[in-house]
């Protein structure tokens, strides 16, 4: 009876990213539960399924897990909603095969530093999100008693700044504030993340008050020269911050610590040493630190301003090596837009311009374009942008992999095509990005969220269905794989057993990690 199987959709291709390799693959999804119910490492024909089953063969395009962008600023609610909002930011994500974004606690007003404020953000997000959205909480001076309640309300982790954040309602924390936050969070299932730039010891002589000041270092050259800006945010800011974090780590030895947007390669030996000592410390870097280089940034082109800054090409080389070695585990967008006037577009003053780069939805193509020149394959890229980012935010088991029991979040990617970035490829609110007019390799053809197609290159967004994204507010769980739902398609029993066996094996492995 076809009707009893009408909730089954089958996606297949000669190329799919399953268990960390590219293989022929068939994915059976249940649109009622939104879950993946079967995964086969072969192309099964339509005849393997009941009549009436939706069956799509995408060969030779690549079926890959939807990306989990663990670092975006959507800026809503409050007046900075003119910079970005849930509707536009998540639409941009869906365009780029991103099926989950995690929103940073600052730039919206109020910032996500209390449960009350989180509730305001959640209310603003409801009904607007094209992809699933999780939320981080913020650590600011004096809010340590709010942190456990935020954990209970489902924040995916916490972010704090060790240097001026650029917005007054989200002040930097001192070493003492970090210690208080660690005490509160030390037995919680969460992650504490750091914007790891800090003024080095020379400035320590004036105490923590300096953290709340303006530009960390006065410019020593023309304000429109990129190298003047670069020199004002030296690698020493990052290494000093990292040393401080590592020194604090023993306060909460079981609490995962994470460096957001690591830029300077001088941090890498410190990170390695800390990890070897057993400190639970991870790091992410961003698409722009890997794909862009200071040497190429024209003076006055403030679209490239972000903090920490985009450094020299040799620095990018080192970041790629660290990814390949597994020292850095994730790549995120740090999508942080603003309006053209605040970005000083055309004005050229790097010190006046807002620091932040718009990338959400372009990252996969950006990384593929640069990565394939460096011998990187799509499996590695998928690991850095889906599996490991899902792990970082406590969603592995639900997101980030094509596996039985996972959400059917699928990106259909054509690595052989390319496109030029114009405003029609920028779905974020303000059409400003350093990738404008660049040609990127690899096109996202379709994006599926929990078993439903939400975007197609050919037909656009499903405006009739509207935004189908859920807000991810369940408390973080220990990593487990959900129990596979009942298999309902007539596949050979041997295959079904094989699939279930694999699922059981991976459950055991994950629970041990």
Chain positions contacting Zn ion, by CB under 5 A: 334
Give whichever of 284 and 334 is closer to Zn ion, judged by the CB atom. Answer: 334
Tell me which residue has its CB nearest to Zn ion: 334
Q: How far is the CB of 407 from Zn ion (least distance, A)?
A: 25
Burial 108-141 (b: 16+ CB within 10 A, else e): bbbbbbbeebbebbbebbeebbbbbbbbbbbbbb
Query: How far is CA 274 from each of CA 216, 250, 267, 268, rounded to the nearest angstrom?
Result: 27, 11, 11, 10
Q: Assess contact for 109 and 79: CB atoms under 8 A.
A: yes
Give whichever of 334 and 409 is closer to Zn ion, judged by the CB atom. Answer: 334
Name the nearest CA neighbour of 477 among 173, 231, 134, 175: 134
Cβ-Cβ contacts under 8 Å for 494 (sequence gap 6 or more): none
Give whichever of 211 and 402 is closer to Zn ion, judged by the CB atom. Answer: 211
The residues with which 471 forms a beta bridge, in sequence order, are 133
CA dihedral in degrees (394, 399, 404, 408; nearest 10)?
160
Residue 314 has phi, psi (to 5 degrees) of -60, -30
Give whichever of 111 and 451 is closer to Zn ion, judged by the CB atom. Answer: 111
Q: How far is the CB of 356 from Zn ion (least distance, A)?
A: 7
Give whichever of 76 and 334 is closer to Zn ion, judged by the CB atom. Answer: 334
Q: How far is the CB of 353 from Zn ion (least distance, A)?
A: 16
Give whichever of 87 and 334 is closer to Zn ion, judged by the CB atom. Answer: 334
Give whichever of 144 and 334 is closer to Zn ion, judged by the CB atom. Answer: 334
Q: Assess contact for 284 and 259: CB atoms under 8 A.
A: yes
Give whichever of 84 and 334 is closer to Zn ion, judged by the CB atom. Answer: 334
Angle between helices 235-248 and 268-276 (to 10 degrees): 10
Q: How far is the CB of 121 from Zn ion (least distance, A)?
A: 16
| Residue 269: how many other CB atoms lie within 10 Å | 11
Q: How far is the CB of 221 from Zn ion (least distance, A)?
A: 26
Q: How far is the CB of 267 from Zn ion (least distance, A)?
A: 17
Give whichever of 334 and 407 is closer to Zn ion, judged by the CB atom. Answer: 334
Q: How far is the CB of 195 from Zn ion (least distance, A)?
A: 7
Q: Assess contact for 138 and 105: CB atoms under 8 A.
A: yes
Q: Assess contact for 105 and 137: CB atoms under 8 A.
A: yes
How is residue 104 written in tokens? 């940073």
Q: How far is the CB of 449 from Zn ion (least distance, A)?
A: 24
Give whichever of 334 and 370 is closer to Zn ion, judged by the CB atom. Answer: 334
| Residue 77: how many other CB atoms lie within 10 Å | 18
Cβ-Cβ contacts under 8 Å for 506 (sequence gap 6 or more): 403, 481
Q: Can you tell me which residue has the tokens 């009707």?
A: 3
The residues with which 193 forms a beta bridge, in sequence order, are 159, 258
Query: How far is CA 155 from each of CA 12, 114, 407, 432, rounded to the nearest angstrom?
Result: 35, 11, 19, 29
Helix (H) or strand (E) holding 330, with range, is: strand 330-332
Residue 90 has phi, psi (to 5 degrees) of -80, -25
Q: How far is the CB of 404 from Zn ion (least distance, A)?
A: 34
Q: How far is the CB of 274 from Zn ion (least distance, A)?
A: 22
Q: How far is the CB of 102 from Zn ion (least distance, A)?
A: 11
Give whichever of 334 and 446 is closer to Zn ion, judged by the CB atom. Answer: 334
Cβ-Cβ contacts under 8 Å for 96 (sequence gap 6 or more): 67, 360, 361, 362, 363, 364, 365, 444, 447
The residues with which 337 forms a beta bridge, in sequence order, are none
Give whichever of 184 and 334 is closer to Zn ion, judged by the CB atom. Answer: 334
Q: How far is the CB of 489 from Zn ion (least distance, A)?
A: 43
């Amino acid at each position: 009876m076809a009707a009893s199987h009408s909730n089954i959709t089958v996606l297949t291709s000669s190329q799919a990213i399953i268990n960390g390799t590219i293989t022929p693959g068939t994915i059976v999804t249940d649109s009622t539960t939104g879950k993946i119910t079967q995964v086969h490492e072969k192309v099964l024909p339509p005849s393997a399924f009941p009549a009436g089953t939706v069956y799509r063969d995408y060969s030779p395009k690549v079926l890959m897990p939807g990306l989990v962008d663990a670092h975006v600023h959507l800026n809503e609610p409050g007046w900075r909603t003119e910079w970005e909002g849930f509707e536009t930011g998540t639409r941009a994500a869906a365009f780029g095969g991103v099926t989950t974004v995690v929103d940073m606690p600052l730039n919206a007003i109020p910032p996500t530093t209390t449960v009350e404020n989180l509730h305001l953000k959640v209310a603003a997000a409801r009904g607007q999100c094209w992809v699933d959205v999780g939320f981080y909480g913020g650590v600011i001076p004096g809010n340590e008693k709010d942190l456990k309640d935020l954990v209970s309300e489902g924040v995916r982790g916490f972010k704090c700044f060790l240097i001026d954040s650029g917005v007054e309602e989200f002040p930097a924390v001192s070493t003492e504030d970090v210690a208080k936050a660690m005490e509160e969070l030390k037995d919680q299932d969460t992650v504490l993340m750091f914007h790891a730039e800090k003024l080095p010891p020379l400035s320590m002589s004036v105490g923590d008050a300096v953290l709340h000041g303006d530009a960390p270092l006065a410019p020593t050259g023309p304000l429109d020269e990129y190298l003047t800006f670069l020199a004002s945010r030296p690698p020493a800011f990052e290494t000093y911050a990292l040393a401080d974090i590592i020194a604090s780590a023993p306060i909460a030895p079981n609490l995962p610590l994470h460096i957001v947007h690591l830029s300077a390669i001088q941090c890498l030996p410190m990170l390695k040493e800390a990890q070897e000592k057993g400190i639970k410390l991870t790091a992410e870097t961003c698409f722009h630190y890997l794909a862009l280089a200071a040497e190429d940034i024209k003076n006055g082109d403030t679209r490239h301003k972000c903090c920490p800054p985009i450094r020299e090409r040799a620095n990018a080389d080192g970041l790629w090596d660290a990814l390949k070695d597994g020292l850095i585990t994730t790549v995120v967008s740090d999508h942080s837009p603003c309006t053209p006037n605040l970005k000083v577009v055309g004005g050229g003053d790097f010190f006046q311009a807002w620091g932040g780069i718009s990338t959400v939805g372009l990252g996969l193509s950006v990384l593929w374009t640069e990565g394939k020149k460096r011998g990187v394959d799509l499996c590695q890229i998928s690991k850095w942008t889906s599996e490991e980012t899902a792990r970082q935010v406590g969603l592995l088991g639900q997101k980030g992999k094509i596996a039985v029991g996972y959400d059917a979040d699928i990106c259909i990617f054509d690595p052989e095509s390319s496109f030029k970035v114009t405003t029609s490829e920028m779905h974020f609110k303000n059409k400003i990005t350093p990738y404008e007019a660049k040609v990127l390799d690899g096109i996202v053809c379709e994006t599926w969220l929990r078993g439903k197609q939400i975007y197609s290159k050919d037909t656009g967004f499903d405006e009739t269905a509207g935004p189908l994204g859920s807000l991810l507010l369940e408390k973080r769980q220990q990593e487990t794989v959900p129990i596979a739902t009942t298999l309902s398609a007539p596949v050979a029993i041997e295959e079904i057993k094989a699939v279930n066996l694999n699922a059981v094996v991976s459950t055991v492995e994950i629970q041990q990690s």
